Amino acid sequence: MAADSVFSDLSRMIEQVGKDKGIDRQIVIDAVTQGLLVAARKKYGTYREIEASYNEETGEVELFEFKEVVTPEEFEDELIEIVLEEARELDPDVQLKDSIGIRLEAGDLGRIAAQMAKQIITQKVRDAEREIIFNEFDQRKGEIASGIVRRVERGSIVVDLGRTEAYIPPREQIPGEMYRQGDRIQGYLSEVRQTTRGPQIIMSRGAPQYLEKLFEVEVPEIYDGIVQIMGAAREPGQRAKVAVYSKESTVDPVGACVGMKGSRVQNIVQELKGEKIDIVPWDEDITRFACNALQPAEISRVFLDEDNKEMEIVVPDNQLSLAIGKKGQNVRLAARLTGWKLDILSESNASAKTAESIFNLMLLPEMNETMAQNIFQSGFGSFQALADADIEDILSIPGYEEQERAEKLIQDAKGLIEKYSQEGMEIPQAPKATVEAATGDAKSQADARLKEELAALAKEEGNEENTDEAASSEEGEAQVVGASEETAEAAPETEEAGAANENEVPPAPVEEPVMEEATKE
């Protein structure tokens, strides 16, 4: 009776399961057939040859036991053999050595076997459902999905996506975000894995790809393919950089991403909980691209090492902290965006490094400063680097295009290394005065710019004071005296700024009105 309840009305059950779970009908039929076959073998044993098949007309799974037709003399085992007379009662056309199928009743399987069949069917249907879910989300990998927060397990957010659940591990979350049960959340489907417990879906809110997908949703030009995102780098919750490129010259890629009054990018910033986003134009020239990536810092010059994908970038002294960013954030994101190693130097440090390299190269015999400059600008900062260089690289240095001269330069460098090694001497370093002089050039330029700005500011203040003095003699007297005192207190320590202040407010015009009033009294 138990088996009858399990396998009754199979046609309706198969249709219902296929409709509810979205599983193909044939998969459900195979699961039911295999479940019934396992249950039959559990009852009758595996020695007997039993097969199961689904009858489309009756909507039932039929069990058949197959036996070989033999003569009475050959009959030995009733479990696998049947005599010819008995076989012909079932099928008149049967012949010796044929295999005849004898139908078994599913109701005779018993409660335990029926329960086993039910478990197998349930497991097969569940496996099929997991496979469908895996294939569905595997095709959606790389897209944005949204769901409801169900719970938080060991720091991971469990998101209900409808038919299955997804996980946002701590490393894929934006630091500082807090979600409660029932909150709506969205993320990037970064990974879909098939495990023994079913498909495991990993969502991310901290991946650079999530930022790119958000721009694709917000910016129609990106969705249409007019503007392309060439790369993105993020430090989730703090700052991000996005490189964009336009296929059409009439479309500004940065402006398209920013939107009218920043409306497009602000929507993305709100979704990322206030994360600052720098949108920079992509350039095929890696040097220009690196300069764009380091915005808003100004770049003085760039030195490339294409073999090692390294870049040395020189910035003005007052731009060094801006180029590096808070805790190195700006240059770190720029390096991720470009894929190059970036080394930021101030002009004073770069000048000192250049002076040291020139001094080192001039240790070579018959080397002058001009040739040392040419070698340094070709990418060789020491004679040790020349000793390890290939002849083809030396031939590219101006003045060393001849094979013989290039080979001599390499030999001189190797000989110099051997000389210092044999004598046990340290390689001489550039004198401190030389380095300080090179550093001082950059510092003096910065100081000069500062003095010019202070002088211009003092001149503007002086013009405003003279205008007020002409308006009223009594008020002018007080203002001129007050301005003189303020100018004396605010005057820069540099001689140039002091001279500018003296020229702007001469002492004679201030004293004459005071003397005249004193005489009248």
- Domain end call among 379, 414, 430: 430
482 pLDDT above the threshold of 50: no
Q: How far is CA 382 from the centre of its chain?
A: 37
518 vs 52, higher pLDDT: 52
> Residues 6, 112: one domain?
yes
The CATH number given to whatever domain includes residue 189 is 2.40.50.140
Task: Compute the average pLDDT of residues 416-445.
Answer: 67
Has residue 497 been placed in a domain?
Answer: yes
Residue 50 host element (H or E): strand 50-55
Give the count of beta carbons closer than 10 Å to the beta carbon of residue 185.
18
> Residues 126, 145: one domain?
no
How buried is residue 17: exposed, middle or buried, by Cβ count under 10 Å (0-12/13-18/19+)? buried
> Residues 52, 151: one domain?
no
Has residue 275 been placed in a domain?
Answer: no
The SS3 assignment for 244 reads strand
> Residues 30, 125: one domain?
yes
> Residues 482, 370: one domain?
no
Instruction: Note whether 7 and 61 are within 8 A (CB).
Output: yes
Give the count of beta carbons closer than 10 Å to the beta carbon of residue 5.
12
* Residue 392: per-residue pLDDT: 86
Give the count of beta carbons closer than 10 Å to the beta carbon of residue 467.
11
Has residue 312 been placed in a domain?
Answer: no
- Domain end call among 99, 130, 161: 130
237 vs 511, higher pLDDT: 237
Q: Long-range contacts made by residues 367-373, C-beta under 8 angstroms, separation at least 24? A: 371/399
Question: Which of 15-29, 202-216, 395-409 is the most confident on average?
Answer: 202-216
* Residue 265: per-residue pLDDT: 93
- What secondary structure letter does DSSP report for 328? G
- Domain end call among 185, 204, 223: 204
pLDDT grade, residue 462 (50/70/90)? Answer: low
CA atoms within 13 A on the CB side of 342: 28
* Residue 206: per-residue pLDDT: 92
Has residue 348 been placed in a domain?
Answer: no
**What is the spatial distance between Cα 489 and Cα 499, in angstroms, rounded to a whole number?**
14
pLDDT grade, residue 136 (50/70/90)? Answer: confident
Has residue 332 been placed in a domain?
Answer: no
468 pLDDT above the threshold of 70: no
- For residue range 251-283, list pLDDT tens digits in order: 999 999 998 988 999 999 999 988 999 999 999
416 pLDDT above the threshold of 80: yes
**What is the spatial distance between Cα 207 and Cα 173, in angstroms, rounded to a whole number?**
9
Angle between helices 286-293 and 329-338 (to 10 degrees): 150
Share of the chain above pLDDT 90, in %: 26
> Residues 398, 498: one domain?
no
* Residue 476: per-residue pLDDT: 40
Number of domains forming the structure of the chain: 4
The CATH number given to whatever domain includes residue 107 is 3.30.1480.10
* Residue 511: per-residue pLDDT: 39
Task: Compute the average pLDDT of residues 152-169.
Answer: 90
> Residues 6, 74: one domain?
yes
Q: How far is CA 491 from the centre of its chain?
A: 51
Residue 84's DSSP bridge partners are: none
* Residue 355: per-residue pLDDT: 85
* Residue 111: per-residue pLDDT: 72
- For residue range 357-380, list pLDDT tens digits in order: 888 888 888 888 888 888 888 878
455 pLDDT above the threshold of 80: no
* Residue 169: per-residue pLDDT: 93
User: For the stretch 374-386, what's the b/e string if a residue is b when 16 or more beta carbons lie within 10 angstroms of its beta carbon?
Assistant: ebbebbbbbbebb
**In this structure, what token pair is assigned to residue 16?**
């219902």
**What is the spatial distance between Cα 229 and Cα 216, in angstroms, rounded to a whole number?**
9
* Residue 68: per-residue pLDDT: 83
Has residue 311 been placed in a domain?
Answer: no
> Residues 466, 496: one domain?
yes
pTM (2 d.p.): 0.63
Give residue 200's domain range: 140-204
- For residue range 77-131, list pLDDT tens digits in order: 777 888 888 888 887 888 888 888 788 776 666 676 667 777 777 787 888 888 8
Average pLDDT for the chain: 78
- For residue range 62-79, list pLDDT tens digits in order: 788 888 888 888 888 777
307 pLDDT above the threshold of 50: yes
**What is the spatial distance between Cα 349 and Cα 131, in angstroms, rounded to a whole number?**
61
The CATH number given to whatever domain includes residue 410 is 1.10.150.20
pLDDT grade, residue 461 (50/70/90)? Answer: low
* Residue 377: per-residue pLDDT: 82
222 vs 19, higher pLDDT: 222
> Residues 385, 490: one domain?
no
435 vs 167, higher pLDDT: 167
- For residue range 178-234, list pLDDT tens digits in order: 888 999 999 999 999 888 888 899 999 999 999 999 999 999 999 999 999 999 999
239 pLDDT above the threshold of 90: yes
